[in-house]
Amino acid sequence: MAERYSSFSSGSLPWLLQRVTAAFLVAVLAFHFFLLHFYHHAYEVTFAGTTARMEQWGYLLTMILFLLTATFHGVNGVYAALLNQGLTGSTKRAVQLVLGIAGLALAFQGVRLALVMSGVIA
């Protein structure tokens, strides 16, 4: 039987955050699918409707949290997978830097877009 191997020790902060963000993403994704695929049908989802939803503070904050959580979860997951493949040394540091910059850029642009769509910034 194969041994279980994880780049993060069970109970560490990255390990815990990966699980907490996964649970949050499942809940918010269910909300997203219900709202945009069952409550509103595909032909009813328009740019104007999206803008109207983003103007509601609860919806805006939920979508920003969704974006930030998904970004962290994805970047942390890719990093963990690469560590599991044996990434070490200067390559590990370079990957940390590239993933960190990419994650921050995605988060920045996503939050900026959400704030523009909500009318908070022009």
Give the CATH number of the domain where residue 112 resides. Answer: 1.20.1300
| Per-residue model confidence (pLDDT) at position 29 | 92
pTM of this prediction?
Answer: 0.84
| Per-residue model confidence (pLDDT) at position 44 | 80
Cβ–Cβ under 8 Å, residues 49 and 117: no
| Per-residue model confidence (pLDDT) at position 77 | 94
- In terms of residue numbers, what domain contains 20? 13-118
Total structural domains in the chain? 1
| Per-residue model confidence (pLDDT) at position 5 | 59
Instruction: Tell me if 109 is assigned to some domain.
Output: yes
* Residue stretches of the chain with pLDDT short of 50: none
3-state secondary structure of 48: helix
| Per-residue model confidence (pLDDT) at position 42 | 75
Of 33, 112, 1, 23, the C-alpha closest to 73 is 23
Instruction: Tell me if 89 is assigned to some domain.
Output: yes
| Per-residue model confidence (pLDDT) at position 63 | 93
Of 103, 53, 44, the C-alpha closest to 76 is 103
